[in-house]
Amino acid sequence: MRLYLLSLIGILLAAGCGESSPCKKACSRLAQCAKGDAGLAPAAPAEDCPFPTSACESPLQECQAGCVASAGCAAVTGADPVAAAAVSACQKECATRDLATGPEAAPSPSSDGGALPPPPTGDCTKVGCPAGYYCDLVGRKCLPGCAVDAECGAGAKCNLAKHACCAPGESVCAGSCVNLSTSPAHCGGCGKSCATTSGGHATCSAGTCGLACDGGRSLCGEACVFTASDPLHCGSCDKPCEQPVGGSVSCLSGSCVAGCSGPGQTTCAGKCVDLQSDLEHCGGCGKACATGGGTATCSGGKCGITCPSGKTLCGESCVDLQSDVNNCGSCGKVCTGIGSSTSPKCSAGKCGLNCYSPAVKCVDTCCDPTRYGGSHCCTGTDSYGKTFGYCLKYGYSCY
């Protein structure tokens, strides 16, 4: 067995697999990856040159710095046990490399649609990276991606947080490519977020914030509401329902509906009332009871008046039957005057006249010398012995 190993080493040295040979380089780089280079933890210990003599002619697998374990990573495996161990230890991403020569097996496409040239090997902080690559400061390797805006084409910017080109017209805000004309989180400028509201969502159009309502709601001011049920916007925006005094209000199918808590109450003129006893709405809304010189009442939905002492209710008014010329002595008894020189009066419940010149008083009447060719006062006594007066034309004698 020892003789076989010595023969194998001899063959490798003869093939140029020395300290600076590609084969030695491949072995060394594979061993470093398996040992945890760039923070990668190997699943098995590395060996100096754990590959067959044909290994220098075959692509081997190498873990790349900065990767995630994924189905793609699991698929990158090699026949060599150390290479397989290195792949299984990947934390970020895996790439296929020919460890004998060093370049990427599949170059990434360039910004103009073509394939990128292979990146330089070695420490990128020292040798630099060509266009289409950026220097990964963790692994110190050139990785595909933009480093400046010029690599992204006209009107496009490079998102340095991800080393990816934004679409033309987009800006980089907080590590993301955004359109300042349409992004609610960056509307018109980075960090200028649009406010939202319950039942709706923020919008951004031409760099100006707006609101859009969800689920059949309508935008009223800065609120998204259901106009079919909102008492402040019932049927349409800014159309509030008035709550009656002593009651409640709701909006049903876009129409205001008022309710009263008291038994037998009805809403009239913005308040809850009892039509059986309310003086302003007696028997129906708006049917007010008159006072008529007394005190108004409403009972059983009908108006009434209570007159003070000394007055009588005639119709809808409280009157004094002793002095009221329209109700003299009793309701409806009207006192009348005679001509323009008199006026009616009611005294002690009896009708009489007030005489004005040229008429003269004649017991309980007035004689006007200017009427009917002139008249004069005559008096007499009735069968009850009561004196009365009457008027006769001049030229006639009293009887």
Q: Which of 347, 342, 344 is nearest to 323 (CA)?
A: 347
Tell me the pLDDT tens digit for each residue of 357-390. Answer: 888 888 888 888 887 777 889 998 888 888 998 8
Inform me whether the pLDDT recorded for 287 exceeds 50. Answer: yes
Q: Which of 66, 83, 42, 33 is nearest to 139 (CA)?
A: 66
Q: For Cα atoms 307, 308, 313, give the angle at the middle one, nearest 5 degrees.
A: 25
Please say whether the beta carbons of 371 and 395 come within 8 A. Answer: no
Please say whether the beta carbons of 338 and 319 come within 8 A. Answer: no
Tell me the pLDDT tens digit for each residue of 55-92. Answer: 222 233 333 333 333 333 333 333 333 333 333 333 33
Pick left, alpha or beta for residue 295 (phi over 0 → left; psi -120 to 50 → alpha; otherwise beta): beta
CA of residue 81 relative to chain centroid, distance: 63
Residue-by-residue DSSP string for 172-198: EETTEEE-TTT-TTSSSSTT-PPP--T
Query: What is this structure's pTM?
Result: 0.40
pLDDT score at 375 = 83
pLDDT score at 102 = 32
Residues in the chain, how many?
A: 399
- Considering the chain, what percentage of its residues have pLDDT values greater than 70? 71
Tell me the pLDDT tens digit for each residue of 210-255. Answer: 999 999 999 999 899 999 999 999 999 999 998 888 888 999 999 9
Q: Give how far Cα 27 sits from Cα of 50, 88, 100, 103, Å.
A: 8, 18, 8, 15
What is the band of 297 on the pLDDT scale with cuts at 50, 70, 90? Answer: very high
Q: Give how far Cα 384 sits from Cα of 1, 161, 351, 380, Å.
A: 176, 130, 19, 11
The answer to whether the Cα torsion of 282, 284, 287, 288 is positive or negative is positive
Q: Which amino acid is at 204?
A: C
Strands 350-355 and 342-347: antiparallel
Question: For 262-267, what is the mean pLDDT?
Answer: 87
Q: Which residue in the block uniquely carries the two structure tokens 């100096």?
A: 48
DSSP 31: H
Q: Is the peptide bond before 358 cis (omega within 30 degrees of 0)?
A: yes
Q: Which of 30, 32, 31 is nearest to 58 (CA)?
A: 30
Q: Which of 101, 110, 123 is nearest to 56 (CA)?
A: 101
What is the band of 269 on the pLDDT scale with cuts at 50, 70, 90? Answer: confident
Please say whether the beta carbons of 351 and 327 come within 8 A. Answer: no
More confident residue, 119 or 35: 119
**Average pLDDT value over all residues in the chain:** 75
pLDDT score at 204 = 96
